[in-house]
Structure 1
Amino acid sequence: MALTLIHASVGVAQTPSGTPNRDDPVQYGAYVFRAGGCFECHTDTKGKGQPLAGGRGLPTPFGTFYSPNITPDPETGIGRWSEADFVRAMRQGLSPAGENYFPSFPYTAFAKISDADMRALWAYLRAQPPVKQQNKPHDVPFPFNLRMAVWGWKFLYFDGKPMIADAAKSAAWNRGAYLVNALGHCSECHTQRNPLGGLKSDMMFAGSTDGAEGKSVPNITPHPATGIGRWSEKDIADFLGSGMTPEGDFTGGLMGDVIEQSTKYLTAEDRLAMATYLKSLPPIDHRPRKPQ
């Protein structure tokens, strides 16, 4: 089976109707920004915070992590970062000073973002208005607050490898795999974690009882009883665009934020590509529920 780097083949959207011109890095970066779900994580919407100024809390079994300011403010944001600093943060999970970021920042997925998309995202972030707002310190107890310990976590759970396109699959499948696994980082929420916080590889996308914000996250494998196996590809694509399920219900919570700030901005082609990939996953019989 011939394999090629996904960075070269599907890391950049094709040019369907509605997709920004990739020749304009800021405009195309806005599209990458939406696909990456950056707004909903780095904006304290509940506290009516400024866009991308950080401060949104992410409760986890290890404590509450707060997203940082990613506006180009030179004092409190990333205004003094170079593009190389940004790429290192995204690809290696390291600050400009060489300190580990906690894996609440999903660099395990973002490491797979293509070079072209990474450059465009950087250009977009640099073009945003700076907001002076200090980062809120994480509320994480010992020993989970030790950044040095993250080296051990990275050794166990982080390979930092680029995505590889599967030549035996369609262009839509490969595009969907990239959007789901790299930019969308869907497995970070939809996969149960082990006691050390690593994703359980045999339960990928099968839902989690300890997901983001401390809530259960549903199974999105195509299992007919406990997952989304009864949904068609069109059902999934429509859900990502509107938040409405095939039964006529509307999603809320963090997934509602993801749709409102991210996936509804994607082209119909990209949402359908994500659906194509999700429908191809191995079905896993798992209904995540919080213990009573």
Structure 2
Amino acid sequence: MMRRLITVSIVLALVGGAAFWWLTRPDRIDAAALGSHTPNAENGRIVFFASGCASCHVTEGLTDRTRLGGGHGLRSPFGTFYAPNISPHAERGIGRWTEADFVTAMVKGTSPAGDHYYPAFPYTSYQRMTVPDIRDLFAYLKTLPADETANRPHDVGFPFNVRRGLGLWKLAFLDGQPFRPDPARSAEWNRGAYLVEGPGHCAECHSTRDWTGAIAADRRYAGGPNPDGRGWVPNITPHRDGLAEWEAGDIAAFLSDGLTPTGDSTGGTMAAVIRNTSQLPDADRAAMAAYLKSLPQRAGRRPPRS
């Protein structure tokens, strides 16, 4: 009887282990699936600013936002994640990556080596981007200076340092669906929705997260405590606690100069965002504003009194 129980236990363990290994396998995009494409580096430059790449990946200690050696630490309840080098450096950056490697990283969260990326890299939003935009972004990144800054390992403890387990997280929160325009909406609204939900990844910072680290759907865009523990991220829905008093033109202007309708200037991490959105065409900022004003009103947690 005991021998049978041991045998059954071993079989169940093997089956469970095999199921875990299969369910958590990193997904990739085959180069053959991409098809032909003529890279547009100028569009890639717009995508670069819309995606906020420099905000995290600029070389630590430098102000030149074309030097993407990384090193910036992103604190979270799970540990500190350090942005990697995404310059064209052959050894320390992405200089040897293929287009398929880059597209896979952006929409599948998988490295060229076949490892899961942590969702501190906002691929849950970048998966909404069009593949041509991602390919153009890759073309633009290759025009920037190579930076030899070495990548810094993440400071993440057990069990979160077991990357294979991220495959289960992806099963729950990475749906693989690109942005689909709403035919009932205007072209401006759809452009704004694409920029905000995709490359702009605005929800990644302006939403409360649950215990898994995923965005809480009922608090999406409603603000909350900054995940890195410093300050409070504001509500950007049209709720009275958010942007109810802002006109669409106020939001578009804010994305250009960082000034609120009352004349206050933004600071902190949002100042870095404005340095990116200020480089977008006026029409893109107006589109983002139109979309933000159309969001459902959501009440968020109020910041603690200082």
TM-score category (smaller protein): 0.7 to 0.9
Instruction: Give the letter aligned to residue 189 of structure 1.
Output: C
Spell out the pairing of 1:145-224 with structure 2 (5 A cutoff): 145-212=161-228, 214-224=230-240
| Cα separation, 2, equivalents of 1:247 and 1:120 | 38
| Cα separation, 2, equivalents of 1:166 and 1:72 | 37
Distance apart, 1:291 and its partner CA:
8.9
Distance apart, 1:152 and its partner CA:
1.2
Instruction: Give the letter aligned to residue 291 of structure 2.
Output: Y
Q: Deviations over 1:190-220 (max 9, x none)?
A: 0100011011011110002133564321000
Which among 255, 260, 263 is matched to residue 245 of structure 1? 260
Distance apart, 1:145 and its partner CA:
1.7
Distance apart, 1:258 and its partner CA:
0.6
| Cα separation, 2, equivalents of 1:77 and 1:24 | 20
1:231 corresponds to:
246
Distance apart, 1:164 and its partner CA:
0.9
Whether the 8 Å CA contact 1:65–1:104 is kept in 2: the answer is yes
| Cα separation, 2, equivalents of 1:196 and 1:291 | 27
1:255 corresponds to:
270
* Distance change in 2, residues 1:290/1:85 (3 Å): farther
Q: How many residues align?
A: 267
Q: Deviations over 1:208-252 (max 9, x none)?
A: 21335643210000012x111110000000000000000110000
> 2:154 aligned with 1:138, yes or no?
yes
| Cα separation, 2, equivalents of 1:190 and 1:251 | 15
2:29 corresponds to:
none
The normalised TM-score by structure 1 is 0.88
| Cα separation, 2, equivalents of 1:177 and 1:215 | 27
1:54 corresponds to:
70
Which among 279, 286, 291 is matched to residue 300 of structure 2? 286
- Unpaired runs of 5+ residues, structure 1, are 1-22
| Cα separation, 2, equivalents of 1:208 and 1:191 | 6
Whether the 8 Å CA contact 1:237–1:271 is kept in 2: the answer is yes
- Unpaired runs of 5+ residues, structure 2, are 1-37
* Distance change in 2, residues 1:212/1:165 (3 Å): farther
Instruction: Give the letter aligned to residue 200 of structure 1.
Output: A
The normalised TM-score by structure 2 is 0.84
Whether the 8 Å CA contact 2:88–2:145 is kept in 1: the answer is yes
Pick 1 or 2: higher relative contact order, CA cutoff 8 A, min separation 6: 1
2:8 corresponds to:
none
2:50 corresponds to:
35
* Distance change in 2, residues 1:291/1:250 (3 Å): closer
Where in structure 1 do 4 or more consecutive aligned residues deviate above 4 Å? none
* Distance change in 2, residues 1:153/1:24 (3 Å): closer
Whether the 8 Å CA contact 2:224–2:300 is kept in 1: the answer is no
| Cα separation, 1, equivalents of 2:193 and 2:153 | 34
